[in-house]
Structure 1
Amino acid sequence: MRGKWMERFKGCNARTLRRDLLSGLIVGIIAIPLGMAFAIASGVNPQYGIYTTIIAGFLISLFGGSRFQIGGPTGAFVPVLLLIVMQYGFENLLIAGFMAGIMLVLMGLFKLGTLIKYIPRPVTLGFTAGIAVIIFTGQIGNFLGLSGLTKHEDFLSNMKEIFEHLGTADIYSLVTAFVCLAAITICSRYAPKIPASLAGLTAATIAAVFFFPGQVATIGSTYGEISSTLPAFAIPDFSLERMQQLLYPAFIIAMLGGIESLLSAVVADGMTGKRHDSNQELIGQGIANIITPLFGGIPATGAIARTATNIKSGAASPLSGIVHSIVVLIVLLLFAPLASHIPLAGMAPVLMVVAWNMSERKEFVRGLQTRTTDSILLTITFLLTVLTNLTTAVEVGLVMAAVLFVKRMSDIVTVAKVLPDPASKHEKVAAHIVNEGRDCPQVRIFTVEGPLFFGAAAQFEQLILNAADNGHRILLLRMGKVPFLDMTGEANLAAVVHDYKKRGGCVLISGIQPQPRQLLERTGLTAEIGHDHFFEHTGEAINAALARVEKPKCAGCKHFAFRECSVLSKPDSPRQMMYSV
């Protein structure tokens, strides 16, 4: 793992250093207002967002598994962190973040990074869109300058609070917000190389300071002046009682942080053609979240928008992320007091634009238009994120996704009764040959296709046993298209074998694949069926089945299911011809 970590820095030279310095400078400037905005939206002092950007951003770039990842406070964390702050307080948020960091490191060490890719797209899209709605609506109060608002833990109560206080809207705050929004829009469209959020905050601050000073709430008037000193090291009170209380919130932070950071790394891979180390990325995220709370920083993860900007600005190595943190640190030391004049009404459009961009609205609408079970999963995850909380949304979404997956997999399992087709060149077996007048009274042949697992095994057993009658004693199962067999499938197959043995019959199996065969060997079912009852080809199994039929019962039979039946149906006639299919 150490070798892979060091590989990210390979190829660094004077030319790539210049590229990293430029991209780090650009991303650092962008990260400053976003760090403060996300901290405010999370219910904490904006300077903690800056501390997080500096410390977590540096450590994620240094120890992570992606060459281009930019870490720091993100919008995805806002609803979760706000809820934790409201329920447990800021110091407990730091403890939860520390515990989440340990969980992330353990996830990386135990190679759980690759499991993130199994989270269905409708679930991630649903909770991302839901988070965007929460962030956007959460800034309406600051945008309008509403006063007397009380923060609630649920969306509907917060919306009710906003509507009840619309009469307190402040014209100065509204003008400030529109100045910021206009600057962001103009820069994004006509001057994309200028950080739009920084331009918006600058324009809003100038408008508020020079045209209506003291009329709008600012960072300084609400949170106090931002200190230009380095964050102080402090160890929170890690009592056992607190840690037990915060175990679940910490797990949610760890899971969301892991998902967000690896999604960001995947986006970076797609933009650059490189490949990240998912487990090392989790370790880097964990180290950052262990150390950052000791300096007052909030939980951090990979930031998709800033990572994309880093790549577009020419980043060549993790040094760009390290430079971005140093840039933020220098700005903190030199210009922190100026940030105290930023109006909260100017911060609101920044977060609203972030929410708008992260909502993936086109993908969301496209998902709804499919009108499949995925669109239902998408809608439910979205609504639960907005109306309840992210934890419930992800849990229900994943459970639903698992149930839908099992249902789809069980639907693709087919069990068809077949017989050799005389019209086929090699007399391949086919289902359409079987009918009421052509169906061997002694031998049943079934083609089984699809994985025999817990979601489909009962259906397999039921179909086989329903086709059984007192007359036939020999069952041939063609399992060449069964790629997987689990313990439930093995148990259902064993039930079929036992049923045939009770009736004095036997089960033959052809074409079984390695995984199912190995499982049957381990459980002893192979021996119970009989090692000589397994065949590589169907033709060999049919020949073995016909060798076991009761000849007297064949006399006078008019079904002619097999080509040999014309001979076997004649009394005292020897068998002829052998199948080769």
Structure 2
Amino acid sequence: MFEIHASKVSSLKNDVLSGLTVALALVPEAVAFAFVAGVEPLVGLYAAFMVGLITSIFGGRPGMISGATGAMAVVMVSLVALHGVEYLFATVVLTGILQILAGIFKLGKFIRLVPHPVMLGFVNGLAIVIFLAQLGQFKVANEEGIFVWMQGNQLMTMVGLIVLTMAIIHFLPKLTKAVPSSLVAIIVVTLLAQSLDLDARTVVDYLRDMTSDPAATIAGGLPQFSIPNVPFTFETFKIILPFALVLAAIGLIESLLTLTLIDELTGTRGRGNKECIAQGASNTVNGFFGAMGGCAMIGQSMINVNSGGRGRASGITAALGLLAIILFASGLIEQIPLAALVGVMFIVVIGTFEWSSFRIMSKVPKADAFVIVLVSGVTVATDLAVAVIVGVIVSALVFAWEHAKHVNVVRFTNEKGSTVYEVHGPLFFGSVSSFLEQFNMEEDSDDVVVEFKYSRVADHSAIEAIDTLAERYISRGKTLHLVHLSPECKQLLKKAGDLVEVNVIEDPDYHIATDKLA
């Protein structure tokens, strides 16, 4: 039905125009996430500006947009409620330092361990989260200050303007791609609402409902440098460290997964470790300038790509455009109907959701289909970091279970009358039980050979299983030969150490996952 109209070529004009579009869409998002975190709107707006600017200049993925995000905001709210906003700023500084260290130690490569079904679940879950977040725009505060659903003409106007916005974004690229369709849609809908004096809620209406302040505005000055006003003690460190670890993990996971998604859309490859350092630097700066911190935003990044943004200029324009709005153009931006911005985000939802996942559900293994649904559900119910970790763990357990079935031991008698066992398949924690069950010690001859040429000993559980096997044969008074084991295996074996036959030419050389050799 809808498709992402993404230009394959980077140009300064496309970057600037798409950046302006993103800047307009960043305003309500930053304000909303600030309220989620329990801080002032400017704290969220400043975060969107500084994170967006620094990551656009120094990050590893040109065209990706960063700012204040809901995934991080939901972690911040309890910290702010318990200890106050100054502790939040200190936590954001520590978060940035941890992310910089992750980049320096090249931990960004571990995003490659995320399986494709987890990626599908991630984008589907995030699309649902973005959609659900827009539903809050359909509520208004009544006389008691309680938010209730829109009704009557106001609801019809909201729906009508959303449909118009989505129609312009969808059909305009078929006529011309000279300007971003999202930007045109926002301008047209705003002018229409103003000229016809429609009963349409605007950005400032939303802000005033959220703050219960009839004079609230997004206008402000430049962010000011300030060292977080917290005691520099070990007690403070103990308070902020758990929150900083969670925020750093969430920020990097969301940023690196978004980077991977934009890589696929643009046919290019970003630099994960460089992005980690840029995200960390931006959050460190945020903490010293009174902002809430942030990470990559998949919704805004999709708007940027959809509008033709490819280069660093798009992110820089978005950040500087947002700052210009705060300093000079707040009065104009506050008059944009929320319906226009909701329509833009609905298009993002449609473009983000992997509709093909429905088609492939019956074609992929049931375990992969389950992981897709599981990660989508956990993303909606909790947060992105938990969902990805759960998805990776479940995928790893399924992998281990499936490969545990692949270890096979072939038994035969050689020309010398010795019983020979040829081990085929990986030997690791999941397959050791099956491995040990395939030996018939009572019926074996007094001379037994276990051949590991066609197997690989993967971890310490496998080493213990070989030791157990050796102990069983020794207790029965039988001679055991273990051949074609790696030097590491020989070094780790205890009971079977003297039973290993060394073949310098043919013995394999590989590493085993164990702490004993670390």
Structure 2 length normalisation: TM-score?
0.79
Instruction: Give matches, 1:448-459, under 5 Å.
Output: 448-459=423-434
SS in structure 2 of the partner of residue 496 of structure 1: helix
The answer to whether the Cα contact below 8 Å between 2:92 and 2:244 also exists between their aligned partners in 1 is yes
**Residue of structure 2 in register with 1:396 after alignment:** 390
Number of equivalent positions: 480
Pick aligned residue for 2:360 from 349, 366, 380: 366
Instruction: Give matches, 1:109-120, under 5 Å.
Output: 109-120=104-115
Structure 1 unaligned blocks of 5 or more = 1-17, 152-161, 421-426, 428-439, 538-581
1:517 and 2:487 aligned:
yes
How much has 1:373 moved relative to structure 2? 0.8
SS in structure 2 of the partner of residue 507 of structure 1: strand
Instruction: Give matches, 1:173-192, under 5 Å.
Output: 173-191=155-173, 192=177
Q: Are residues 182 and 48 of structure 1, via their aligned partners in 2, closer, same or farther at CA, if it must alter by over 3 Å?
A: farther
**Residue of structure 1 in register with 2:101 after alignment:** 106
SS in structure 2 of the partner of residue 450 of structure 1: strand
Structure 2 unaligned blocks of 5 or more = 1-8, 508-518
Pick aligned residue for 1:139 from 123, 134, 137: 134
1:35 and 2:26 aligned:
yes
Q: 522-531 or 380-389: which moved more?
A: 522-531
d(CA) in 1 for partners of 2:243, 2:502: 57
**Residue of structure 1 in register with 2:256 after alignment:** 262
**Residue of structure 2 in register with 1:460 after alignment:** 435
d(CA) in 1 for partners of 2:180, 2:287: 28
The answer to whether the Cα contact below 8 Å between 2:451 and 2:482 also exists between their aligned partners in 1 is yes
Letter in 2 for 1:56: V
Larger radius of gyration: 1
d(CA) in 2 for partners of 1:376, 1:453: 25
How much has 1:48 moved relative to structure 2? 4.7
RMSD: 3.7
**Residue of structure 2 in register with 1:291 after alignment:** 285
SS in structure 1 of the partner of residue 453 of structure 2: strand
Render the CA deviation track for 1:528-554: whole Å, top value 9, x for unaligned.
1144689949xxxxxxxxxxxxxxxxx
Structure 1 length normalisation: TM-score?
0.71
Q: Are residues 19 and 343 of structure 1, via their aligned partners in 2, closer, same or farther at CA, if it must alter by over 3 Å?
A: closer
SS in structure 2 of the partner of residue 138 of structure 1: helix
**Residue of structure 2 in register with 1:560 after alignment:** none
d(CA) in 2 for partners of 1:150, 1:114: 48
How much has 1:173 moved relative to structure 2? 4.6
d(CA) in 2 for partners of 1:149, 1:237: 36
d(CA) in 1 for partners of 2:503, 2:19: 70
Higher RCO, 1 vs 2 (CA within 8 Å, ≥6 residues apart): 2
d(CA) in 2 for partners of 1:149, 1:394: 41
d(CA) in 1 for partners of 2:491, 2:75: 53
Pick aligned residue for 2:404 from 389, 404, 410: 410
How much has 1:175 moved relative to structure 2? 0.7
Q: Are residues 52 and 70 of structure 1, via their aligned partners in 2, closer, same or farther at CA, if it must alter by over 3 Å?
A: farther
Q: Are residues 150 and 31 of structure 1, via their aligned partners in 2, closer, same or farther at CA, if it must alter by over 3 Å?
A: same
Pick aligned residue for 1:505 from 452, 469, 478: 478
d(CA) in 2 for partners of 1:478, 1:199: 70
d(CA) in 2 for partners of 1:150, 1:394: 37
1:376 and 2:349 aligned:
no
Q: Are residues 268 and 350 of structure 1, via their aligned partners in 2, closer, same or farther at CA, if it must alter by over 3 Å?
A: closer
Instruction: Give matches, 1:214-253, under 5 Å.
Output: 216=201, 218-219=203-204, 221-222=208-209, 224-227=216-219, 229-239=221-231, 244-253=238-247
Instruction: Give matches, 1:551-566, under 5 Å.
Output: none
The answer to whether the Cα contact below 8 Å between 2:19 and 2:314 also exists between their aligned partners in 1 is no
d(CA) in 1 for partners of 2:351, 2:25: 13
**Residue of structure 1 in register with 2:459 after alignment:** 486
The answer to whether the Cα contact below 8 Å between 2:466 and 2:496 also exists between their aligned partners in 1 is no
**Residue of structure 1 in register with 2:3 after alignment:** none
d(CA) in 2 for partners of 1:150, 1:478: 76
Q: What percent identity do the matched residue pairs reach? A: 24
1:71 and 2:65 aligned:
yes
How much has 1:526 moved relative to structure 2? 6.6
SS in structure 2 of the partner of residue 231 of structure 1: coil
Render the CA deviation track for 1:442-485: whole Å, top value 9, x for unaligned.
63222212221111123212322xx1116522222221122333
The answer to whether the Cα contact below 8 Å between 1:52 and 1:72 also exists between their aligned partners in 2 is no
The answer to whether the Cα contact below 8 Å between 1:485 and 1:519 also exists between their aligned partners in 2 is no
